[in-house]
Amino acid sequence: MRNDSSILKKAFIDSLPVLMGYSTMGFAAGVLMAAKADVPFAPVWGFLTAATFVSGTLSFAIVPLIAQSAPLASVAMLTLAINFRYAFYGFSMLGKWKNIPLAKKLYLIQMLTDENYALETACTLQDGKRHESYCLKLSAFNHFYWVAGCTAGCAAVCALERALSPERIKAATNGIEFAMVALFLVILTDQIKGFLGHGR
């Protein structure tokens, strides 16, 4: 029991930086979904899409396809193109996840985002069971942050629609699509600064 609580605490503390990113980016994705995808019951859509996949890039890119009622094949191709890199993450985790039951392994695979991968590979827990527990708890925390952010973003737009017209909300949310690009630029800049700093 003590081991479980210590692993839970470690997973929660490690997930806090992800909370900052997932809640804000998830909120932005939810706002975009509710404002521009033209779907009924937007918070339900926000919840279902966030619960089904945790991919910031896909969450932003899929909105125009939903708005245009694009064929399922187009959505599938976009999903494959954006998330293909995760397959390589999965290959590197095969050894660590070898003895994990299939249902848990499938969840970990679905949750293998950039942030989860970085934290799980940096984890120093040597015992297989403890590492499995850590990965599952970390994934659950980060999944919750993403779902909560997306759902809250959709709900916020729905609340605003009582006071503002949909056209005004759409106009006010123009440019939010570039939030993900801005995040990547910040990360890239930080990485370059770190690289140059180590080179000195």
Distance between CA atoms of residues 181 and 170, nearest Å:
20
Distance between CA atoms of residues 38 and 26, nearest Å:
18
- Provide the pLDDT for residue 75: 80
To the nearest whole number, what is the mean pLDDT of the chain? 79
- Provide the pLDDT for residue 188: 56
- Provide the pLDDT for residue 166: 63
For residues 30-46, average pLDDT: 82
Res. 1: pLDDT tops 60: no
Question: pLDDT band at 147, cuts 50/70/90?
Answer: very high
- Provide the pLDDT for residue 20: 86
Condensed to tens digits (0 to 9), the pLDDT of residues 56-70 reads: 777 777 777 887 877
- Output 183 or 90, whichever has higher pLDDT: 90
Distance between CA atoms of residues 135 and 145, nearest Å:
15
Q: What is the dihedral of CA 148, 76, 69, 29, to 10 degrees?
A: 20
Q: What is the dihedral of CA 191, 192, 197, 200, to 10 degrees?
A: 140
- Provide the pLDDT for residue 177: 62
Nearest residue to 151 via CA among 28, 60, 21 = 28
Assign 3-class secondary structure to the chain.
Answer: CHHHHHHHHHHHHHHHHHHHHHHHHHHHHHHHHHHHCCCCCHHHHHHHHHHHCCCHHHHHHHHHHHHCCCCHHHHHHHHHHHHCHHHHHHHHHCCCCCCCCHHHHHHHHHCCCHHHHHHHHHCCCCCHHHHHHHHHHHHHHHHHHHHHHHHHHHHHHHHHCCCCCHHHHHHHCCCHHHHHHHHHHHHHHHHHHHHHHHHC
- Provide the pLDDT for residue 191: 55
Res. 151: pLDDT tops 90: yes
Name the one residue in this structure whose structure tokens are 């125009």. 64
Condensed to tens digits (0 to 9), the pLDDT of residues 167-191 reads: 666 665 666 666 655 555 555 566 5
Per-domain boundaries in the chain = 2-175
Residues 26 and 153: beta-carbon distance below 8 Å: yes
Condensed to tens digits (0 to 9), the pLDDT of residues 100-136 reads: 888 888 888 888 888 888 888 888 877 778 888 898 9
